[in-house]
Amino acid sequence: MTIAERLGKVNYRNQERRDARPHILVDTNICNTRCPHKATTYVCPANCYTLDEQGHVHFQFEDCIECGTCMYACDQGAVSWHYPDPEQGRGVNWNYG
């Protein structure tokens, strides 16, 4: 089962909202200039951090399942982590949990 198929099973909040407010801010400059491991691109269980062909880190918050892994795995100070706003943010609504 691919990660995309897995995330397809997640019940996200505010899915219809186009302008959802991000709850995690990532300074990808730090990732791309001085991070020796770019760990978020593989430890994130929702694959929110990806590498492009040039090896640059990209982040999107829409698929985030609010686990918090990146907040601990990033030891470079690039990740600023908050809880999503119930009205304006994304985040999850677990059906089973």
Partner 1 sequence: MEAERFGCIIVGGGIAGLSAAMVLARHEVPFLLIERGAYSGAKNVSGGVLWGTDLARLVPEYWNDPNAGFERFVNHRRLTFLDEQSAFSIDFKSSHYDIPPYMGVTVLRAVFDRWLADKVQEVIDRSACADASFLAFDVLVERLLVEDGRVVGVEAGGERFYADCVILAEGVNNLLTRQIGLQAEYVPADHMAVGVKEVLRFDRRVLEDRFQLSERSGMANEFIGAITDGVEGGGFLYTNRTTVSIGLVLGMADLRRKRKKPYELLDRFKTHPVVADMIRGGEVVEYSAHVVSTGDMRAMPRELYADGVLVAGEAANLLLNAGKAIQGMDFAMHSGILAAETVLEARRIGDFSAATLRRYRERLEQSYVLQNMRNFQAAVRLLHEPVMYERMPRLVCDLGREFFRVENRPAPKLRQILRDVVRRHSSLPELLKLTYRAWKAL
Please state, as a whole number, how many other Cβ atoms lie within 10 Å of the Cβ of residue 79: 22
By beta-carbon proximity to partner 1, the closer residue of 22 and 84 is 84
Terminal alpha carbon distance of the chain? 19
Check residue 79 and report its DSSP letter.
E
Task: For residues 45 and 63, give the distance between their C-alpha atoms in angstroms, rounded to a whole number.
Answer: 10
* Window 37 to 66, contacts with partner 1 (CB under 8 A): 37, 39, 42-43, 45-47, 65-66
**Is residue 75 a contact point for partner 1 (CB under 8 A)?**
yes
**Is residue 30 a contact point for partner 1 (CB under 8 A)?**
no
SS3 category, 80: strand
Of positions 6, 15, 29, 50, contacts partner 1 by CB under 8 A: 6
| Alpha helices (H) in 1-97, listed in sequence order | 3-7, 28-33, 40-43, 69-73
By beta-carbon proximity to partner 1, the closer residue of 28 and 43 is 43
Residues in contact with partner 1 by the rule CB under 8 A: 1, 3, 6-7, 9-10, 13, 37, 39, 42-43, 45-47, 65-69, 71-73, 75, 77, 81-87, 91-97
